[in-house]
Amino acid sequence: MIKDKAFLEKISQFCLDKAKNLGATDCEIAVGNSISESISYRNKQVEQSDRSDNFSIGLTTYMGNKKSNVSSSNIKKDDISALIERCIAMTKITPEDKYSSMPKESFLAKKDISLNLFDKTELDNDYKINFLQEIEEEAFSNSKITNSNGCSFSEAKSNFILTNSLGFSKGYETSMFSAGCAVVAEDKGLMETDYEYSTKRFSNELLNSKKIGSSAANRAVRRLNAKKIKSTKIPVIFDKRISKSLLSSFAGAISGSAFSRGTTFLKKKLKKEVFSSSINIFDDPLIEKGLGSQPFDSEGVTSNKLCLVENGKLQNIFLDTYNSNILGVETNGRSGGSTNLYFENGKNTLKEMIQAQKKALYITDLIGRGSDTITGDYSVGASGILIENGELGYAVNEITIAGNLLDMYKNLDLANDLELTYATNAPSIIINQMTIAGK
């Protein structure tokens, strides 16, 4: 059982009182407990079973514009006292930073908002093992699946309290259930692997075990007999499972720290057109059961839905208190970064998008992280399927796709198949032209 609110509050209040008594002008304490269990299964056998029970204390103390922080997993009273004393001692010798401050009290969350993020269900090991067995059996029902790279089922639950010297003290419980597998397909001595997984706040909303198995198998088989293609420049369609990586790169480029340091290729693009006029991007922390949902950010600032890109123009960036102080603006409750980040849906179906292409690539997998948020350069290994005359053809591998993110953003269009499956979400995406490095 995870520690309850009263237990966490008792520790946080002890830390707050002691830090103030030792001379802190302000302080912030995050106290949390998390429990996770996981089972790995491969070729009809349980390979590994793990359980962890973690406790964490994070303390930040201020003396005017001096700031320092410490953390520990030890909850013994004497050790916590020593931790606080150490933090205060560090703060005294830390150089002043005029931008270091607590958030304004008026920005802190006042209301308790329930986003339905916690599932009380406790699944026993027999259930999890049976679920994994069904995944693997379904995958092996495909005659071209010859081996398993492993299946896993994990369950994680956590509770935390954030307390500060401005009178804020709130927290909430979360849960996360994940299941997935990776399998090997073989044909004529050639092998390919692919995967499928599902992650949800509530266990009963996980993708059906047989669907996970069949999807992993079908994806692996689809990659068999892949061919190399010559280097060229053609349109590229990103499958929605991997198209979110483009949005993740965008999120990194619009962080408050990147803007305050000037280390982003978008540093001069605020309030200017970055995408085509049909593109809208939102970050919404208040989606019920969302994997990135939160009623307040890691500073206690109220979280609200934020329009980042409206009709192609960059309207907002992710701001915490420190970087908003540097930039001379107000925080928008994004200490910790994005929450539930997504492109607004496009108009055309993926099928229509594919049918409109004379020759293009449908990318189903990316290898490595190939975006540079300082320069905007983009280059990543990939595999997928060649599109010819509006139809999916043969599998393609050992290619690199490259471009510049600014050019890619301006030539980007969206399908209408958005699903809020992850914390960062995108529909299928087409970029009208990219450089393909092949044989």
Q: List the domain range (segments joined by +) for residue 266.
A: 226-439
Q: pLDDT tens-digit profile of 283-297?
A: 999 999 999 999 999
Let me know whether 257 and 217 are in one domain: no
How confident is the model at residue 368, as a pLDDT? Answer: 80
**Domain holding 155: CATH number?**
3.30.2290.10
Cα separation, 51 vs 256, in Å, equals 36
Let me know whether 412 and 267 are in one domain: yes
Q: How many other CB atoms are found less than 10 A from the CB of residue 162?
A: 24
Q: Choose the final residue of a domain: 222, 247, 281.
A: 222
**CA nearest to 18, candidates 73, 69, 88:** 88
Q: What are the tokens at 102?
A: 């607590």
Let me know whether 230 and 353 are in one domain: yes
Identify the DSSP state of 188: T
Which residues are within 8 A (CB) of 142 and not within 5 positions of it... i.e. 6 or more apart? 185, 214, 217, 218, 221
CA 26 from chain centre, in angstroms, equals: 31
Let me know whether 43 and 96 are in one domain: yes
pLDDT surpasses 90 at 363 = yes
Q: pLDDT tens-digit profile of 267-288?
A: 999 999 999 999 999 999 999 9
Compute the average pLDDT of residues 308-316. Answer: 98
Confidence class for position 369, pLDDT limits 50, 70, 90: confident
Compute the average pLDDT of residues 240-251. Answer: 95
How confident is the model at residue 41, as a pLDDT? Answer: 97
0.85 exceeded by the pTM? Answer: yes
How confident is the model at residue 393, as a pLDDT? Answer: 94
Let me know whether 332 and 433 are in one domain: yes
* Residue that the structure tokens 């047989």 belong to: 210
CA 173 from chain centre, in angstroms, equals: 19
Cα separation, 370 vs 249, in Å, equals 9
Q: pLDDT tens-digit profile of 405-427?
A: 999 999 999 999 999 999 999 99
Q: Choose the final residue of a domain: 195, 222, 249.
A: 222
Which residues are within 8 A (CB) of 121 and not within 5 positions of it... i.e. 6 or more apart? 202, 203, 204
Confidence class for position 216, pLDDT limits 50, 70, 90: very high
How confident is the model at residue 438, as a pLDDT? Answer: 87
The tally of domains found in the chain comes to: 2
pLDDT surpasses 90 at 439 = no
pLDDT surpasses 80 at 235 = yes
**What are the strands, taking DSSP E only, across 263-356?**
281-283, 306-310, 313-314, 341-343
- Angstrom CA distances, 415 to 204, 243, 281, stand at 29, 11, 14
Let me know whether 395 and 250 are in one domain: yes
- Angstrom CA distances, 290 to 283, 353, 361, 425, stand at 12, 28, 32, 11
How confident is the model at residue 188, as a pLDDT? Answer: 87
The number of residues in the chain equals 439
Let me know whether 105 and 23 are in one domain: yes
pLDDT surpasses 90 at 435 = yes
Q: pLDDT tens-digit profile of 95-153?
A: 999 999 999 999 999 999 999 999 999 999 999 999 999 999 999 999 999 999 999 99
Q: Which residues of 116-141 are buried (b: 16+ CB within 10 A; e: fewer)?
A: ebbbeeeeeeeebbebbbbbbebbbe
CA geometry: angle 176, 182, 186, nearest 5 deg? 170
**Edge-to-edge strands, sheet with 313-314:** 313-314, 306-310, 281-283, 341-343, 424-425
Which residues are 190's β-sheet partners?
187
How confident is the model at residue 302, as a pLDDT? Answer: 96
Cα separation, 192 vs 211, in Å, equals 20
Let me know whether 107 and 254 are in one domain: no
CB 107 within 8 A of CB 331: yes
Look over the chain and give the mean of its residue pLDDT values, rounded to a whole number. Answer: 96
How confident is the model at residue 408, as a pLDDT? Answer: 96
Let me know whether 185 and 230 are in one domain: no
Q: Choose the final residue of a domain: 176, 200, 222.
A: 222
How confident is the model at residue 264, as a pLDDT? Answer: 97
Cα separation, 330 vs 211, in Å, equals 46
Let me know whether 185 and 244 are in one domain: no
Let me know whether 257 and 347 are in one domain: yes
Q: pLDDT tens-digit profile of 62-111?
A: 999 999 999 999 989 999 999 999 999 999 999 999 999 999 999 999 99
How confident is the model at residue 370, as a pLDDT? Answer: 80
Q: What percent of the chain is predicted at pLDDT more than 70?
A: 100
How confident is the model at residue 290, as a pLDDT? Answer: 97
Q: pLDDT tens-digit profile of 154-200?
A: 999 999 999 999 999 999 999 999 999 999 999 988 999 999 999 99
Let me know whether 206 and 238 are in one domain: no
